[in-house]
């Protein structure tokens, strides 16, 4: 009887003990394998576990393999508004927009916003600062002028800019018009024939944080071919004729506005549109008064040989 009981006890204990031993063996094997695993496998697990956090801040590797950069992913620089001038005279700019610009039917919200942001008083000489927001052009250095706020807004609206626009400006002057365009457009390339003005405008725009404005000293008649074509071209000095290189550098579907001298010395803004097939359409939109464009445009027009 005792022998039979001992046999039954051994049979009942055998299975649990075998199962426990098997589990211990499996645990030992798992620990050994994990300790010998390459470091890269741990990194993969960490990435998988932290994917939620990476998506919250933007995964820079979504468009390509690890370590590669997608050039189309690079965001263009935008104007910074850290300079103290942006916080000065805000009510003056709001009043200027309401009474001088909106009251004359400029409606593009991007243009109105840009005119409220750009500190015009930073672009005029100290002696003219108190007049910065009145309804008229003001003198700047080198015998040039900064345009009337309404004209700046009107010309900018005529270009129909958007955040992807590339703009060419002929006649940088103080840099004010370029700054207004830069608040809306992707990039602004601006040319100034007076070297001293080009230098001072470049320094001022940099100081104000306009990283998407590029200034060059030169004759605007020839444009800036290597950076073209352009969605929009704006001229801020009156030419006797429209420079042919500017028409060539205007992208199909693009728009150009600039003052043109007519008969008897009268000037008017001319709006030029190039359709998708490259056909040019022109129309006069407003009588104006600008400083004259100088340089190549002053030379007699060459007649093509027949």
Q: CB–CB of 78/114 below 8 Å? A: no
> Which of these is catalytic: 91, 147, 174, 200?
147
Asked if 232 and 161 count as a contact pair (C-beta separation under 8 A), the reply is: yes
Active site residue 147: yes
Distances (CA, A) of 272 to 242, 248, 269, 284: 10, 12, 10, 9
Instruction: Return the structure tokens found at 180.
Output: 């207004």
User: What is the Rg, in whole angstroms, of the alpha carbon atoms belonging to the chain?
Assistant: 34
Residues labelled catalytic: 147
């Amino acid at each position: 009887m005792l022998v039979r009981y001992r046999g039954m006890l051994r049979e009942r204990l055998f299975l649990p003990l075998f199962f426990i031993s098997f589990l211990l063996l499996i645990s030992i094997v798992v620990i050994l394998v994990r300790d010998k695993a390459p470091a890269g496998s741990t990194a993969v697990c960490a990435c998988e576990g932290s994917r939620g956090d990476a998506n919250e801040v933007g995964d820079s590797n979504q468009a390509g393999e690890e370590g590669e950069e997608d050039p189309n992913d690079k965001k263009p620089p935008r104007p910074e508004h850290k300079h103290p001038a942006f916080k000065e005279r805000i009510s003056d700019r709001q009043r200027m927009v309401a009474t001088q610009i909106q009251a004359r039917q400029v409606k593009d919200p991007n243009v109105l916003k840009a005119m409220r942001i750009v500190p015009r008083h930073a672009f005029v000489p100290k002696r003219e600062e108190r007049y910065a927001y009145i309804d008229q052009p003001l003198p700047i250095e080198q015998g040039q002028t900064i345009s009337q706020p309404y004209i700046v807004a009107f010309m900018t609206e005529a270009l129909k800019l958007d955040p992807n626009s590339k703009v060419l400006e002929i006649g940088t002057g103080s840099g004010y018009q370029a700054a207004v365009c830069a608040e809306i457009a992707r990039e602004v390339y601006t040319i100034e024939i007076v070297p001293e003005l080009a230098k001072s405008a470049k320094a001022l725009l940099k100081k104000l944080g306009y990283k998407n404005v590029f200034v060059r000293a030169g004759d605007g008649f020839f444009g800036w071919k290597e950076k073209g074509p352009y969605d929009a071209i704006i001229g801020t000095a009156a030419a006797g004729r429209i420079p042919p290189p500017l028409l060539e550098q205007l992208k199909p579907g693009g728009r150009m506005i600039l003052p043109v001298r007519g008969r008897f010395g009268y000037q008017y803004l001319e709006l030029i549109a190039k359709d998708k097939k490259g056909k040019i359409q022109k129309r006069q939109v407003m009588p104006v008064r600008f400083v004259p464009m100088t340089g190549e445009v002053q030379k007699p027009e060459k007649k093509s040989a027949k």
